[in-house]
Amino acid sequence: MQIVKQDGDMLLCVKPAGVAAQGEAGMEGLLRAQTGGAVFPVHRLDQAAAGLMLFAKTPAAAAALSRQVREGTVDKEYLTLVSGMPDPPAGRMEDLLYHDARRNKTFPVTSPRRGVRRAALTYRTLATQNGVSLVRAALETGRTHQIRVQFASRGMPLLGDGKYGSRIKGELALWSCALAFEHPKTGERLRVFLPPEGEVWRAWKEWGEQG
């Protein structure tokens, strides 16, 4: 696993596409085998997605970072390629989403009921070519498949996302590009940006601000 930053309390690494975020066969087990120490996941990342993922290395750090996730102070940004052109090119999406655990699929719904949760994100379009747009999205909430279903429900499925209607096969074009959080011990605000890697991204250079 590619480790971007680590110390005695936290570890920031790159999750490859197709690797589960949790479990012995996923990032937890792989990182334990690589580092020889304990790791604790503090947030989720879709198995089909790739990019930055944060882990704690002690129970105390896990509690501190998990609290930040619950309170919404961990900023998470993604780069994605979507079919079509967002209109307007920058804005905010808010939906009610229901996740069907049996089918592992999320659906937008029109009214609250049991299991329905509010989902919101902001986005801006960085470039468009050949009917595909490069979009940077910042999550306000962290729902299962949130970015995928919010864009797909507006007729803009992510490239490679057959589950939500993409006709383009291949790797899911969803990359966790930036994370900002407070260090679990020192309280220092940290922000890390990592450009996307992989064949699906090679034609795109407009990654946006890294600050």
Which residues are catalytic, by number?
A: 46
* Cβ proximity of 115 and 98 under 8 Å: yes
Rounded to an integer, what distance in angstroms lies between the CA atom of residue 175 and that of residue 198?
A: 10
DSSP strand pairing (90-100 vs 105-109): antiparallel
Contacts of 182 (CB under 8 A, 6+ apart): 64, 68, 73, 188, 189, 190
DSSP strand pairing (132-139 vs 75-83): antiparallel
Rounded to an integer, what distance in angstroms lies between the CA atom of residue 210 and that of residue 193?
A: 6
Phi, psi (degrees; rounded to nearest 5) at 10? -140, 160
